[in-house]
Structure formats: C-alpha cells, structure tokens
Amino acid sequence: MRKALNLRGRPPKNIAEVAVEVFSVNQDFYQPEEGFWAYKFPSHFDDALKKEHFVAVDIEATGGKPPVEKMVEIGAAKYRNCNEIDEFSFLINPEKPIQPFVAKMTGLDDTLLAKAHSLEWVMEKFLDFIKDEVLILHDPFPDMSFIDEASMSCFGGVLINPILDTLTMAKKKLGLHAGLSLNKIADRLEIVQNDHHRALSDARTTVKAYFKLREMDDLPVVEEEDEEEPSE
C-alpha cells in the first residue's frame, strides 16, 4: 500500500481517505467486498510460482529502521523448477557505524564494511539480478523498507515486483499467531540453517520454508507466547 500511495515516513491522519481515492482509480486494485481493497497480482505471478521461477531475498542492516539505519548486505538466490540456478551476495558500505547487537548477530563489523561496495553499485547489480521476478521474503515489510529506501535514494523509485510472504504462509499452515521469526519457523520445520543472520543464507532458508509450507494444510490460528528475539 505504501508503494501505491507513494508514502514515505509517517502516514497522514487521513490515510483511509487517501487510500480509497488512489485505489478507486488504480487498475492494480479491486474491491472483493465493501470496505476492502485487494491487490491484483500480475498475470505472471501464479505462472511463475507453478514453474518455480522466483528469487528469494534477505538483507542485513546497521539497525532497526530506515532511513536512519542503512543496509549492510543483500543476499538473493534465483530458482527455476525447485533448483537454485544463481546467487547474489554483496556487502554494502553503510557509511555509518553498525549497531553492536547487529555486529554480534552477523559477525560483521565497521572495519569490514568500510571496505565494501557503495549502495548505488550494489543496488544497480541487485535490480539487474531480480529484474521483474517474483520475490519471496519472510516478513517482507522490514526488508523491503530498506530496499525501497535504497532504490528511491539511488534511482528515484521503488520496486514493483510481486512478493510472496512466507510469514503469512506460516501463520496459515502452522496455525500460530506468534513465534514466527524465520529462525523459529526453520526450527519447527526441521530446516538446518547455516550462517543464520547472514543475508544469502537466510534467503535460502526462506525458500526451504516455502517448499515445506506449501505442502501443508491450513490450520486454525492459535495464540502462543512469543519470546523476545532480535529482528530477522
């Protein structure tokens, strides 16, 4: 929705009125019932998933939210017919210190990142890598906030790729409201993780989760206490 409304920062108080005005004239949205608007996925979305044509994406950042915090790594893996055919993995110089808790989780530090590529250099290669592919992310909003902020600052626009969210899948398939971080989902699905909290590895874990979740039946959602865990 933020993309459709061209929103950055705090939404306006009359966000509902703005949304209705924009959605009513935008052919990418429709009303399945009164008071609700839904996005029309491009025609190639379902075909791409049936053919297993997609790119899994994950990022790491200096801290919580853009634009104050910056990306330090983008990882992506391209799939065809259930097989990974290409990978993308680059560190980014954030031109600011990385938060200590992120350094502890990722093993990255300011000295290493100071030698990394510029944001514009990495983003140009990233956009060329993903093109118009369907993207798969776990809880995409945080990661896409960083990616869109970077794309906007470098090239003046945000990504419009269709996105599949494995967090939404996990809620339906596992019947849980909480405890749905990528790490916990991987544990529940008995997925072996390597280099957790590194972008390319987490992107691959997301795909493994997607492959397992899509074979499962939906379950009623139940409440479950969730322990505090750093953001993925």
Using a cut of 0.85, tell me whether the model's pTM lies above it.
no
Q: What is the mean pLDDT of the chain?
A: 83
Please give the share of the chain, as a percent, with pLDDT higher than 70: 72
Burial 154-183 (b: 16+ CB within 10 A, else e): beeebbebbbbbbbebbbebbebeebbbbb
Which pLDDT score is estimated for 8?
A: 46
What confidence category does residue 175 fall into, taking pLDDT thresholds of 50, 70 and 90?
confident
Among the ranges given (43-57, 106-120, 161-175), the one the predictor scored with the smallest mean pLDDT: 43-57
Which pLDDT score is estimated for 176?
A: 76
| Residue 206, CA distances (Å) to 55, 95, 167 in order | 10, 29, 9
* 181-196 pLDDT, tens digit each: 999 999 999 999 887 8
- Name all domains of the chain by residue range, CATH numbers in brackets: 1-40 (no CATH), 44-213 (3.30.420.10)
